[in-house]
Amino acid sequence: MSTSRRQFIKKSTVFAIPVIIPASARGADGTVAPSNRVTVGAVGWGMQGPGNTQSTMGLDNAQVLAVCDLDKTHLAKAKETVDGFYKNTDCAAYADYKELMARKDIDAVTLAVPDHWHALVATAAAKAGKHIWGEKPLARTIVEQQAIVKAVEDNKVTWQTGSWQRSVDNFTKAVELVRGGYIGEIKEVQVGLPSGHHDFAGTASKNTVTPPPAELDYDKWVGPSQMIDYIAARVHRNWRWHYNFGGGQLLDWVGHHVDIAHWGLDMDNSGPSTVECQGEFPDPAALWNTCTKYRGELTYPKGIKMTIAGGHADIAGGTKWIGSEGWVYVNRGAFDASNADWKRFRVLPDNMRKADIYRSGNHFKNWIDCAIAKKPTITPVQTAHHSAIPGHLCLISMLSKSKIQWDAAKQEITGNPEAAKLLTRGYRAPWQLG
Ligand SMILES: NC(=O)c1ccc[n+]([C@@H]2O[C@H](COP(=O)([O-])OP(=O)(O)OC[C@H]3O[C@@H](n4cnc5c(N)ncnc54)[C@H](O)[C@@H]3O)[C@@H](O)[C@H]2O)c1
């Protein structure tokens, strides 16, 4: 073999290479030889990291070589899982993501760290030339998201977002109907997201200040955020309910259902011009202080109205497009439409496909195949950026108690300097967004 898979990825500049593994890269048994697989490092082994890593290991053209977590217990579990899969003890384990990024033999990384760490880890990965699976929402603030977009584009790495609904049949069918014109001219979109808080880690009762456990480097876990006392209930998994680290249900879910809404509108690189959102918040000093109920009204190009709501019975969870001639509603495991016939198909029949919509079918395979072929994934970084912006703007509208005027082309809040300050946040030394 003159060109290894890794060299092939690095050398290839052609976008139209078909997504196939050349026969020469396969062994006698038809599987891809280890030396020709895309090599992967997995950063973050909490709620989402293990599933992402299992899915990546399940691909015949990818191989996980290393794991990283700053919690020693999570890191040990990660190594044990990867070694168990490959039946060896080869997986390298790092506490510091920078050491993993420095490995020249690693082509790609899956990132599943809390939102307050997204920007630093993703920009480091892009600058190290790694192809990236990054989680939604793209980052904790819009300015951090812009830094990720720039690093990914400057370094020409392949980005896939964990907005995996795009690779699931009923979401694809819904978008193909909407984009195919079956509901006429779109007038309105309703996006329903969860409300309240959910005790993912089962730690709600561990709600007092204690010393951090020995296995966790808590100072580093807090990273660029403000240092606050260790309380188990707002660290692993439940960090998303405190604004120092995450953005509550609104930002946890915007990258799923607003992502699908934009796809149906054919507005992956567009956004709202006005955003007005009201919500209910716990006391800022509460254990979990993120918004529990919210409703945002947004104006999109062509006069389309979007409602993004959590905890409002009139807006069902998922995405619903309402047009001049009908409507389509989609959620996980759910599909409904004004035309009952459309419910019969799992996939839109070819003779009904009027719009040329990107079909993936497997979000992880799509990422690795696109990294090899140097093609855009189904959810590239600009899409992730624009899918999360409406959530960030809803939060800014609530915190600033104002209607936001958004210049989507310049990505600026106009006429409201106080609200514009919330596009970014301070970083705790020594962390800096480079
Ligand atoms: N796509 C989806 O459906 C989906 C579902 C759940 C979570 N997520 C996303 O995945 C990300 C992680 O969420 P989670 O629920 O798994 O969080 P989690 O708290 O369960 O896990 C995060 C892990 O990252 C580790 N970590 C934190 N900072 C780190 C750093 N600097 N370097 C290395 N490791 C670090 C933690 O110790 C922890 O093990 C979030 O962005 C979340 O939005 C996506």
* DSSP string across 387-408: HHHHHHHHHHHHHHTSPEEEET
Instruction: Give the Å distance between the CA of 49 and the centre of ligand 1.
Output: 7
Torsions phi, psi of 235, nearest 5? -110, -115
Say yes or no: CB of residue 203 within 6 Å of ligand 1. no
Query: From the CB of 43, is ligand 1 less than 6 Å away?
Result: yes
Ligand 1 centroid–CA 416 distance in Å is 33
User: How far is the centre of ligand 1, averaged over its atoms, from the C-alpha of 68 (Å)?
Assistant: 12
In CATH, what number does 168-200+239-356+382-423 get? 3.30.360.10
Ligand 1 atom 10: the closest Cα is on which residue? 112
Is there an atom of ligand 1 within 6 Å of 399 CB?
no
101 CB within 6 A, ligand 1: no
Relative to the CA of 48, which ligand 1 atom is closest?
Answer: 16
Q: Is 116 in the pocket of ligand 1 (CB under 6 A)?
A: no
The residue ranges of every structural domain in the chain are 5-165, 168-200+239-356+382-423
Residue 170 neighbours by CB distance under 10 Å: 18
CA dihedral 387, 390, 396, 397 (to 10 degrees): -170
Shortest-distance Cα residue to atom 13 of ligand 1: 114
Q: Where are the alpha helices (DSSP H) in 129-278?
A: 142-155, 169-179, 218-222, 248-265
Q: 190: which 2 tokens?
A: 């309703």
Shortest-distance Cα residue to atom 27 of ligand 1: 113
CA distances from 166 to 15, 28, 248, 420 (A): 22, 35, 22, 31
Is 154:128 a contact under the CB 8 Å cutoff?
no
- Which residue among 43, 45, 47, 237 is best mutated to probe the pocket of ligand 1, counting the most ligand atoms within 8 A of its Cβ? 47
What separation in Å is there between the alpha carbon of 419 and the centre of ligand 1? 28
Cα of 345 from ligand 1 centre, angstroms: 35
Q: Which two tokens stand for residue 355?
A: 């719009």
d(CA 138, CA 120): 12
Nearest CA to ligand 1 atom 3: 162
Strand order in the sheet with 159-161: 92-94, 62-68, 38-43, 108-111, 131-134, 159-161
Looking at ligand 1, which atom is closest to the CA of residue 115? Answer: 41
Q: Which fold has domain 5-165?
A: Rossmann fold (3.40.50)
> What would the two tokens of residue 7 be?
């060299």
Residue of the nearest CA to atom 6 in ligand 1? 48
How far is residue 110's CA from residue 43's CA, in Å, rounded to a whole number?
A: 6
Per-residue model confidence (pLDDT) at position 219? 98
Which three-class secondary structure state does DSSP give residue 171?
helix
Can you give the pLDDT of all 434 residues of the chain as single tens digits?
A: 233 444 444 433 332 333 334 443 444 565 676 667 999 999 999 999 999 999 999 999 999 999 999 999 999 999 999 999 999 999 999 999 999 999 999 999 999 999 999 999 999 999 999 999 999 999 999 999 999 999 999 999 999 999 999 999 999 999 999 999 999 999 999 999 999 999 999 999 999 999 999 999 999 999 999 999 999 999 999 999 999 999 999 999 999 999 999 999 999 999 999 999 999 999 999 999 999 999 999 999 999 999 999 999 999 999 999 999 999 999 999 999 999 999 999 999 999 999 999 999 899 999 999 999 999 999 999 999 999 999 999 999 999 999 999 999 999 999 999 999 999 999 999 999 97
Q: Would the CATH topology of 5-165 be identical to that of 168-200+239-356+382-423?
A: no
**Rounded CA gap, 219 and 238, in Å?**
17
Give the separation between CA 337 and CA 182, rounded to whole angstroms. 10
Q: Indicate whether residue 72 lines ligand 1 (CB < 6 A).
A: no
CB of 64 closer than 6 A to ligand 1?
no
Q: Is the CB of 68 under 6 A from ligand 1?
A: yes
